[in-house]
Amino acid sequence: MAFSQTQFDTVVEEIQKGLHDMPGRIEKFIADVNSLLGAWWMTDPVAKAIRWAAEKLRELITKTVDKIGEACVGIAAPVHLFVKALDWQADIRAKATTVAGQTDSKALRAPLEWTGEAADRYKTATWRQTGAAARVGTIADSVGSSLTMSAGAGLAFYLAIAAIVVELGIVISAASAATATGVGAPIGIGAGIADTLKQLALIVTAIAGITTFVASQATELVSLTGEARDGKDFDGGKWPSGTA
């Protein structure tokens, strides 16, 4: 998924607003339940069942909100990753490929009129810069692409979290409305429990998915580290000498 700063800001605002409003919605739900339990016609067996279901719903929603809070600890990461991706592409890759182009054998003008042993050594020393610079450009491009993909994955992850937050708000509001009707309380609260369990499962799945993705990017980083240390263009792991 492509990263969009505007879309990400909207997602963050949605999550923050939903989490901010949640305690008030839970409080209203509990107040509606207590009001229902105090009704003159409420029997003890029914009151006991409704009280248990309401407490279970509150417990599940609180647990889900806690999970969301844990997932939001690194909510700024996608933005930082995207900014770093731009740095790798614009500052490092662009400059490296420019050097590679400028030192390419077809771009050098001096060898066209200069011959002899010194000229040959000059060409050899210069062309080695081309390979090294090109390698840096390739690695920078891979790093930039990896960071861009990570930023996009982060956006997709928090989009899923935002959808869950919105759904939780709907669940608790619906349960509160059902409780206010009296007769609809058991069904409404029961449906709320089922839906909250579903949202909790979705969070666990989303976290597992982003964890797997991060692990794959770590593997890619190891590969890039090996490529950077490859002796093909970097003699002894160092930048090739610019002198013959």
The 10s digit of each residue's pLDDT in 23-80 is: 999 999 999 999 999 999 999 999 999 999 999 999 999 999 999 999 999 999 999 9
For the chain, 244 residues long, the average pLDDT of each consecutive 10-residue run is 92 96 96 94 93 96 95 94 94 88 64 57 68 87 93 96 97 95 93 96 95 90 78 67 58
Q: Tell me what pLDDT residue 49 has.
A: 95
CA dist 136 and 131 (Å) reads 9
Indicate whether 45 belongs to any domain.
yes
Asked if residues 15 and 165 have their Cβ atoms less than 8 Å apart, the reply is yes
Indicate whether 60 belongs to any domain.
yes
Q: Tell me what pLDDT residue 140 has.
A: 92
Q: Helices 185-228 and 117-181, interaxial angle, to 10°?
A: 170
DSSP state of 238: S
Q: Tell me what pLDDT residue 135 has.
A: 86
Indicate whether 242 belongs to any domain.
no
Q: Tell me what pLDDT residue 124 has.
A: 65
Asked if residues 52 and 101 have their Cβ atoms less than 8 Å apart, the reply is no
CA dist 210 and 203 (Å) reads 11
Asked if residues 68 and 15 have their Cβ atoms less than 8 Å apart, the reply is yes
Q: Tell me what pLDDT residue 32 has.
A: 95
Can you point out the beta strands (E) in the chain? none
Indicate whether 243 belongs to any domain.
no
Indicate whether 244 belongs to any domain.
no
Residues 6+ apart with CB under 8 A from 151: 3, 78, 79, 81, 82, 85
Indicate whether 86 belongs to any domain.
yes
Residue 50: which domain range? 5-237
- Whole-model pTM: value is 0.86
Domain count, the chain: 1
Q: Tell me what pLDDT residue 196 has.
A: 96
Residue 104 backbone phi and psi in degrees, to 5: -65, 145
